[in-house]
Amino acid sequence: MNKIRIDEFLNLAQQHPVIDVRSPGEFAHAHIPGAFSLPLFSDEERKVVGTAYKQQGRALAIKIGLDFFGPKMRPMVEEVEQIINNQCQLPTANCQLPKTVLLHCWRGGMRSGAVAWLLDLYGYKVYTLAGGYKAFRNWVLQQFEKPYSFKVIGGYTGSGKTIVLHELGERRHTIIDLEKLAHHKGSAFGDLGETKSPSAEMFENELALSLYEVKDSPAIWIEDESRRIGNINLPNTLWETMRRSPVFFLDIPFEERLKYIAEEYGKFKKEDLASATLRIQKRLGGQDTSTAVSHFNENNFIGAFRILLTYYDKYYKKGLHDRVNLDELLTIVPCSRVVAGENAGALLSVFQSHIPGAVQEQTN
């Protein structure tokens, strides 16, 4: 059994399974992405052991823990066997490597130590994370403090920023899709068609690993986002880095954006669209809200989104101009319509020439 630091742990995690022995509740809240849950104690058992430790001392807590642990030993070994066997069936697996597992609990203490002892006894090579999940969380927060070479894809609502971002990814450019990590598209309508958003902590874990994988890239493409995506706040330091990064603004005519957004969101139930509109009633205004909802009820998506797009344009324009040194950061990318391939090509062409501040008056 070997205790290793976080950088070595994450490096080994690219080849070997990570086993999280914390309770199911702890794992469900947030965990190291890709880890397998193999709880030493259930949530209730963890509570019993913790209470005994505080009220009656370490020795009794250990004895109670052993009572819980004993019947689970064989099932835990067999579950780890299954995890490794399943991984060996993956196309990229190298099953000639020694049977190695990486373990962690909350602080790298007794829970990971007990399971590490069991798996070592069975014959596995076992590494435990020094400091446990808490050390990983400290590492996560450190990632947001680092400088990154972000290139921000800007544009009013309906500009197809996301499809351009994905097109860049298809062309092997480095991207980070913040909305995909958040399971939210960033507006009052952003949760439509999405699965449940992760906890803020889990979002940070996923984001930190994404940044770690591309940290040395000379250009990391991301979408222009507000500080908040759905229920998730972007880490402050990282968001400030984004706000200081070059912005490539997809300049697309209003009517083209309106047509695109109506097609994209017209597939959702009109009741859901109306409900999303009501969530921004205070900012949109009573009359515009009532009119937009009426348009949705009448299946007039163009009419409804004309009102909403006008509102979001004002909102985005304020955020765009609320930057220090915008004149130095902003580059316009003229586009005639919302087409991923065309606009990605135009973006890359402008990026390669990269004349900051070109034709800025078009966004005024």
- Quote the strand ranges of 116-184, DSSP E: 125-129, 150-154
Burial 99-113 (b: 16+ CB within 10 A, else e): bebbbbbbebebbbb
Amino acid at 309: L
Q: How far apart are the first and last CA of the chain?
A: 63
Two tokens at 227? 């500080």
Question: In the block, which residue shows the tokens 């065309």?
Answer: 342
Contact by Cβ (8 Å): 77, 119: yes
Residue 151 CA to residue 170 CA, distance in Å, equals 17
The radius of gyration computed from the CA coordinates of the chain, to the nearest angstrom, equals 25
Active site residue 105: yes
Residue 69, CA distances (Å) to 39, 51, 77, 115, 275 in order: 10, 17, 12, 9, 49
DSSP assignments along 104-134, one per residue: E-SSSSHHHHHHHHHHHHHT-EEEEETTHHH
Residue 364 CA to residue 351 CA, distance in Å, equals 21
Annotated catalytic residue within 88, 95, 105, 335: 105
CB atoms within 10 A of CB 193: 13
β-pairing, 247-251 vs 330-334, is parallel
β-pairing, 220-223 vs 232-233, is unpaired
Helix axes 110-122, 58-69, angle to 10 degrees: 40
Dmax over CA atoms of the chain, in Å, equals 73
Amino acid at 3: K
List beta partners, residue 103: 19, 128
Residue 269, CA distances (Å) to 195, 244, 273 in order: 16, 39, 6
Known catalytic residues are 105
